A and B are shown apart, each in its own frame.
Chain A
């Protein structure tokens, strides 16, 4: 049974613990800042912030260590032949953080539709290029509340970490069975 909850809100991170008398807030962090995603795995907590003016950020805490800012997912340099891409090559928001089913692996779905992978518990990230470079991606559309497509959901098959199912608003459902190679 879960005894701790990590709640990300538009106004910060709230940590709740179950006590005999019920749930209590035992910690607050990033007060006033929009928390766009939270992931707790064992004693590690990974938080994505959407700072608006200053962009998306990733912070991590392991065990009783202090919170530390990690490298945020970022797109590589936009090539010259990508001028017709209607979407920016810059992460606007980290929409979800999902455990990859393998030690250290975490997937991040972002706006404008980029899928990023970490193999070091969120310290560094790399773009999944097969999905981003797919010609069909240029037809993806934004959703209400955001002008860009958002990769809002990443589901990892519990029996096969190479099989991912992605939900993109508004671009449908996409699936890979080879860890994103195709």
Chain B
């Protein structure tokens, strides 16, 4: 089953433990996490459900391509990493 890891930066604000979830897409995997941690959704996704502008999500080392609908595929043994992006100049 896919495993979702969150940047430790989130622990300053909210509980975001590593989670093993079901799901064939990034959206399905994250929804399972948010079901147990509803407030975490607003930290990762914007009001329309897209990945926040300065959040980066990698599936097995490749950055998620569909930032709006999160349709990127995940497999049984995928590792999903949620980071804060480096921003600014």
Contacts and interface: CB of A to CB of B under 8 A. Distances in A.
Interface of A: 51-55, 57, 69, 72, 74-78, 88-91
A54 B85 CA distance: 10
A72 B45 CA distance: 13
Interface of B: 9-10, 13-14, 39, 42-44, 46-48, 50, 52, 54-55, 84-85, 87
Query: What are the 9 A-B residue pairs with the smallest beta carbon separation, nearest first?
Result: A90-B47, A90-B46, A53-B84, A54-B43, A74-B47, A53-B54, A75-B47, A78-B48, A89-B48
A138 to B, nearest CB: 17
B42 A53 contact: no
Given A53-B55, A55-B52, A72 B42 contact: yes
Given A52-B87, A54-B84, A74 B54 contact: no
Contacts of B10: 54
Contacts of A78: 48
Contacts, number: 45
18 contacts: A51-B43, A52-B87, A53-B9, A53-B52, A53-B54, A53-B84, A54-B43, A55-B46, A69-B14, A69-B39, A74-B47, A75-B47, A77-B48, A88-B48, A89-B47, A90-B46, A90-B47, A90-B50
A57 B52 CA distance: 14
Nearest to B50: A90
B83 to A, nearest CB: 9
A108 to B, nearest CB: 14
Contacts of A77: 48
Contacts of B50: 90
Contacts of A53: 9, 52, 54-55, 84-85, 87
Given A53-B55, A55-B42, A90 B48 contact: yes
Contacts of B14: 69
A85 B19 CA distance: 37
A55 B14 CA distance: 13
